[in-house]
Structure 1
Amino acid sequence: MRIFKKLSDRIQKNTRLIFAITLIAALLFIYISPALSINAIAEKQITISANQVIDDDLYLSGEILTIDGTIKGDAILSGSKITVNGTVDGDLIAAGQTITINGTIRDDVRIAGQVLRIDSQAKIADDLIAAGASLENKLGSSIGGDVSFFGAQALLAGTVNKNVLGAMNSLQLRGSVGQNMRVTVIGDPNPLKAPFIPKPEVTIPDIPEGLTILNNAKIGGKLTYKSTKDAQIEQKSQIIAGITREELPYKGQQGTASNQFTPTPGEILLGQLQRLLALLLIGWLLLRFFPGWIPGLTTTIQTKPLPSLGWGLVTFIGVWIVVTLVPLISFLLSGLLVFTLPHLILPVIGIGILFALGISVAFAIFATYIPQIIISFLGGRWLMERLQPNKSTTRIMSLLAGLVVFVVLTAIPLLGGILELIIILMGLGAFWLWGQRGIQDIRDRQLIST
């Protein structure tokens, strides 16, 4: 179904950014539990002093968090202003408005926030994964693994021992990258700015849109970038294995045949044929193993077309309300459990996400196939009765005739999309009414038996 395909394509384009932000948020919700005490978590300002050693993992949430001491395990932090000057022997996972790292992290760093700073004294032993409005690693800082950043802008002035990956609007390289750099840099001169975001206490670097590489920059491997315009690369910069630019069409540019994919008539025909065969196979399976289901839904649409359409619209809205609210409620409930029953946080979030995912998948599968099969069976049966009034027709032939007409009509631009939406809503409504009738029949039989 084209509606779900467009949504899927859009989601796939932003998968890594969504994954990075969601992962950090989910980890924080799952793992935040009392570290020093429940009062410590509730405090606005929390400081781990320079002479303090935490022999386990550290979980903190507050307004201002400062880590000057040593954490022997992982540090998982959530706050408005987070500063790490000390040492973390494990991973650092943090989310906040401003995050500053000026200490030693002996494993990975995963951070999300508005302003992300890796100061000059920072030493990160392994990978840095970050998402936010601004990332800056200053001269003197070192990152032992890869840097993966997804956000608005990045200024890399320190040392990255391995690769740089990511997507942003602006990127400036002043430092060194040990291996390859592969990035998507939009270069939009008027990027979209999120409203109602508070101004950070620290200064955000001012760098030009697009990709710029200064004279003192060095890339030990290959530079591969996608952008709407050429990178600004100064002559004395060093890029050992060469440069490859991949075209990134800009929404303000007129599309050309070279950067837009136009399927050939043969490809369109093949796609529609594959669609026909998929619907025919699923329809045959339903008629073979559930012989009364499709005819029952067909009768519901035939006798109650307008109620089916209306209840379909209600069902469509209801499903997406449930899918949206259930995870939200589970996350809110997990926030309350932090202070009461922290061991239940993971089950609550897991059940909420699995329930919403199950409903979404079931709804998508149903809406992609079942309504089309129902309407095609109804239309095909009507068509075969008109073409061969004195001859009985098998169910599969009625379905095939209806599917051919359905595929042809829905392939028409605009009209096909409107028709398919109406069919989906009618199918959803018919399923709802059919289910209600089945429940009522069960109740009636129970009353008779008693």
Structure 2
Amino acid sequence: MRRNILLSVLLIGFLLLAALFWPSPRASAADIRTGDHVIVAADEIIDDDLVISANLIEINGTITGDLIATGSQIVVRGAVGGSAALAAQSIDVAGQIDGSLYAAGYAMRLLDGAAVGRNLFFGGFSLLTHPQSTVERAAHVTGSQMTHNGTIGGDLNVSLGGLDVNGVVGGNLTGRTGPSGTAAPQMPFAMPGLPAVTMLAPGLRVAPEAQIGGEIVAREVVPTPAPTTGFLGLPIWLLNRIGETIGLLLTALVIIAMAPRFIPAVSDALRRQPLPSLGWGLLVYLVLFPIGLIGGLILVVLLAIAVNLVTFGRYTAAILGLSASFWVFALFLFLFFVYMVAWLVVGHLIGRGLLSRLGGSTPGRGMQFLYVFVGVILFQLLRAVPILSFFLAFIVGTLALGALFVAWLERRRAIAAGKTTLPSV
């Protein structure tokens, strides 16, 4: 259930980005505001889209276009003529949103007087709808819990731990919740300054006064124990190790066939400079990768905002999709190296140390694969020990990352040295 919740929240995040940069039919740039406390006064009318980033955001006036807001606390008491994309720890909506509401956060409340003209999408910990709140069409909610006391005109689709339905659902009640029969959990963490959240017990509860216009299709999902045996009655952990080993060896075959010098070059760099490789690897793993991950995402957003302002939203979606694809591809390459290629590099070093007498001075592709094969098999045997598995993976990934950087530095120095001596030849 937690994995499904996490994936759903990530989906909501991408929906927020899509809502943020989707080209508007109006050829105009958005009104962008930042600060610690941003207020749209009750008598203020913004005849445009509004983008806000602040700690505390209060919308008391009227926005004729779309609203995009990110912060710690967001309160919407006014009117939004388009759709709203909100991301914050605490979200309170007591006004009118003519379009759809996309929201992600710790806790959101649709207070009395709140009216969403189209659909509601929420991903987070807790959602509470008050009796005089309205969602004209469907509501899609994912997270930990929801208490519904208001009115939803269409379907209510959920993926939650606990759900209490006391209000009106005009369509079907679909989705799934956690299994009932257990007490409400304790508050996971304290959040000073945020509205109090009443913890719900897992399960689906439909009160007698609730009105469901369609069918109740939602079901409680009871976690099933993970199987301990699989193909041919072998233990699951052994099948996982066999599958990982086959995958690593197939990857080694492809790399050795297409770039036979890559694995030996990185392995040699690790053999010659183990301590610098460890140091560079720790720097990349613990510092540069997180900075690059967050910085890359920020660059994607800033580039999309810049294109949105310059082209009036004409090519924003295309630029956002292209830059986000590059970001995802770079992340894939990093993870592919850490979780696949790193084992081949360090495995090659181990296998070469054990079989170096068989390979001669310039071992061919077959001997290179044999080195990798021996090292991978030894590593898989060590990873069968639960305590060693995590630490071994971290050490292997760190050493290989550092060795890759060291090999790159050595290559640059060699090229530079060749260029400097070239004129005298």
| TM-score by shorter chain over 0.5 | yes
Q: Write the distance in 1 (CA, Å) between the matches of 2:2 and 2:408.
A: 34
Q: Does 1:366 align with 2:337?
A: yes
Amino acid at match of 1:139: P
Q: 1:368 to 1:113 in 2, by over 3 A?
A: closer
Indicate yes or no: 2:165 matched with 1:173.
yes
Which residue, 116, 119, 136 being the options, matches 1:127? Answer: 119
- What is the letter of the counterpart of residue 65 of structure 1? I
Q: CA deviation at 1:102?
A: 4.2
Q: 2-side partners of 1:179 and 1:38: how far apart?
A: 39
1:439 aligned partner, one-letter code? R
Q: Give the letter aligned to residue 83 of structure 1.
A: V
Equivalent residue number for residue 66 of structure 2: 74
Q: Is the 8 A contact 2:125 2:144 kept in 1?
A: yes
> Counterparts of 1:340-359 in structure 2 under 5 Å?
342-343=309-310, 357-359=328-330
Contact kept? 1:99, 1:113, Cα under 8 Å: no
Cα offset, 1:128, TM superposition? 0.7
Query: Does 1:83 find its partner at 2:76?
Result: yes
User: In the alignment, does 2:143 pair up with 1:147?
Assistant: no
Q: What letter matches 1:45 in structure 2?
A: I
Structure 1 partner of 2:188 = 192
Q: Structure 1 164/107 Cα, relative in aligned 2: closer, same or farther at 3 Å?
A: same
Equivalent position of 2:279 in the other structure: 310
Report the Cα distance in structure 1 between the residues aligned to 2:129 and 2:79, rounded to whole angstroms: 17
Alignment of 1:165-244 (within 5 A): 165-168=157-160, 170-177=162-169, 178-185=171-178, 188-195=184-191, 197-200=192-195, 206=198, 208-210=200-202, 211-219=204-212, 220-224=214-218, 244=219
Q: Secondary structure at the match of 1:222?
A: coil
Q: Structure 1 residues 334, 277: closer, same or farther in 2, change over 3 A?
A: closer
Cα distance in 1 for residues equivalent to 2:348 and 2:302: 46
Tell me the CA shift for residue 43 of structure 1.
8.7
Q: Measured at CA, do residues 205 and 324 of structure 1 come closer, stay the same or move farther in structure 2, by a change above 3 Å?
A: closer
Q: What is residue 269 of structure 2 aligned with on the other side?
A: 300
SS in 2 for 1:193: coil
Change (3 A) 1:130 1:34: same
Q: Say if 2:98 is the partner of 1:111.
A: no
Number of the residue aligned with 2:149: 157
Q: Using CA pairs under 8 Å that are at least 6 residues apart, name the structure with larger relative contact order, 1 or 2.
A: 2
Q: Please report the RMSD computed on the Cα atoms of aligned residues, expressed in angstroms.
A: 4.4
- State the 1:310 CA deviation: 3.2
How big is the shift at 1:448?
0.7
Residues 166/194 of structure 1: CA separation in 2 closer, same or farther (3 Å cut): farther
Rounded Cα–Cα distance in structure 2 between residues aligned with 1:213 and 1:76: 34
SS in structure 2 of the partner of residue 130 of structure 1: strand
Mark the CA change 1:368 to 1:261 in structure 2 (over 3 Å): closer, same or farther.
Answer: same
Q: Give the conservation status (yes or no) of the 8 Å contact 2:186–2:199.
A: no
- Mean Cα deviation higher: 432-441 or 407-416: 407-416
Question: Which amino acid is the alignment partner of residue 137 of structure 1?
Answer: T
Sequence identity (%): 22
1:166-187 residue CA offsets vs partner (Å, 9 max, x unmatched): 3556532111322123243586
The Cα offsets for residues 353-382 of structure 1, whole Å up to 9 and x where unpaired, read as 666544432221111222221233333344
Superposed, which structure 2 residues align to 1:381-420 within 5 Å? 381-384=352-355, 394-395=366-367, 396-420=369-393
How many residue pairs align between the two structures?
A: 399
Alpha carbons 1:136, 1:154 under 8 Å: kept: yes
Distance 1:325 1:245, change over 3 A: closer
TM-score by length of 1: 0.71
Does the 8 Å CA contact 1:172/1:207 hold for their aligned counterparts?
Answer: no
* Aligned pairs (5 A) from 1:243-254: 244-248=219-223
Candidates 225, 232, 235, aligned match of 1:259 = 225
- Does the aligned pair in 2 maintain the 1:122–1:141 contact within 8 Å? yes
TM-score, length of structure 2 as denominator length: 0.74
Unmatched 5+ stretches in structure 2 = none
Could you say which residue in structure 1 is the equivalent of 2:93?
A: 100
Q: In 2 relative to 1, CA 17–188 (structure 1 residues): closer, same or farther, beyond 3 Å?
A: farther
Query: Does the alignment pair 1:445 with 2:418?
Result: yes
Is 1:46 matched with 2:21?
no
Pick the aligned partner of 2:58 from 46, 57, 64. 64
Q: Distance in 2 between matches of 1:41 and 1:425?
A: 40
Give the drift of 1:218. Answer: 3.3
What letter is aligned with 1:368?
Y
Counterpart-to-counterpart distance in 2, 1:315 and 1:53 = 45
- Structure 1 pair 414/116, CA: closer, same or farther in 2 (3 Å)? closer
CA distance 1:120–1:281, change in 2 (3 Å):
same
3-state SS of the aligned residue for 2:60? strand
